[in-house]
Amino acid sequence: YRRVLGVLNAYIKPKLLSPELYGLWNILSIIPSYASYSHLGSRSIMRYLIPYNMAKNEFQKNVEIKSSVFYGSLYLNVLISAILVIISFAWNLTMVVRLGLLTMAIMVILMWYYDYYLSLLKSYQNFKLITSTNYLRGNITVFLGIILIYFFNIYGVFLSAILSYIFVILYLKVKYPLEPHGKFQFKVFIDLVKKGVPLTLYNFNIELILTLDRIIISYYLGSEQVGYYAIAIMI
C-alpha cells in the first residue's frame, strides 16, 4: 500500500514542480536520511536487547537502555540540526535553499523522534500499531502533499514533509504514550554503540550506494539535471 502511494506521490511531485526544484528536493531529502544514522547503532541494537532483557526479567536494564538511546541520539541530532541552521544563515544562499535547509533541520529532529518510536514499538513487538502508522503516514504524505504542492509549489513540499511527521507523531503519542525517561548514561550508550555500529555501518553503506549518484550529478551538472535523473529513478 505504501509503495502504491509512493508511486502516486513520486508522479505528482515532478508534475507540479520544475525539474530544478524537484532536483533540489531530492538533494535536500538526503540530509535527514543520512542524519537518521547518527544514533551510531544504539537504536538498532536496542530492538534486540529489550526483548532479551524482558525474557530475563531485567527491566531496569531496559530503562537504562531506552533513556540512553533517547538522549544520546537526541544530542547528536540536535547537533546536526544546529549545523544546518548555522549554514542556512551563514552562507550566501537563495531563499528556497535557505528554507530548504531550515526544513531539513526540523526534519532531522522529527525523524529522530519518529524512528525512536518505531524502534521501541518493534522492541515490544507492537506491529499492529506500526502497521496502522504506516497507513496513516502514507495517506497524509500523499494527499496533504498534493494540496500543499499545488498551492505553494516547493514550499508546499517543505510544509507537507514537516506536517506529515507531526501528525503521525501525535497519533503515536495518543496510541502509545512514552514512559518518562531516566537519566542519560554515557557508559551504557557507548556500550550500545559498540554492539550496534556494525549494523548501522552496513545500512549506511547501502544508503550511500543509493544516494551518492544524486550528489555527484548535483555537483557536476546542477540540481536541474538531478530532477530529470530522479524521474528516471522513480520509474
CA distance 63 to 50: 9
The model's confidence at residue 8, banded by pLDDT at 50, 70 and 90, is: confident
The model's confidence at residue 233, banded by pLDDT at 50, 70 and 90, is: confident
Predicted confidence at residue 14, as pLDDT, reads 80
- Res 231 pLDDT > 90: no
CA distance 217 to 223: 8
Predicted confidence at residue 179, as pLDDT, reads 82
Cell (9 digits) for 168: 503521525
Percent of residues, the chain, with pLDDT higher than 70: 100
Per the CB < 8 A criterion, the answer to whether 198 and 191 are in contact is no
Residue 18, number of CB atoms within 10 A of its CB: 14
For the stretch 67-118, pLDDT in tens is: 999 999 999 999 999 999 999 999 999 999 999 999 999 999 999 999 999 9
Predicted confidence at residue 180, as pLDDT, reads 79
* Phi–psi pair at 157, nearest 5 degrees: -65, -45
Predicted confidence at residue 152, as pLDDT, reads 92
Predicted confidence at residue 13, as pLDDT, reads 80
Predicted confidence at residue 69, as pLDDT, reads 96
Distances from the Cα of 34 to the Cα of 37, 111, 182, 206, 211, angstroms: 6, 11, 28, 11, 10
Predicted confidence at residue 198, as pLDDT, reads 92
Burial (CB < 10 A; 0-12, 13-18, 19+), residue 147, is exposed
Q: How would DSSP label each residue in 68-107?
A: HHHHHHHHHHHHHHHHHHHHHHHS---HHHHHHHHHHHHH
For the stretch 182-215, pLDDT in tens is: 899 999 999 999 999 998 999 999 999 989 999 9
Cell (9 digits) for 190: 557507548
Q: Which of 37-41, 65-69, 84-88, 175-179 has the lowest mean pLDDT?
A: 175-179
The model's confidence at residue 10, banded by pLDDT at 50, 70 and 90, is: confident
Predicted confidence at residue 58, as pLDDT, reads 92
- Res 151 pLDDT > 80: yes
Predicted confidence at residue 158, as pLDDT, reads 95
In the predicted model, what is the mean pLDDT of the chain? 92
CA distance 157 to 26: 11
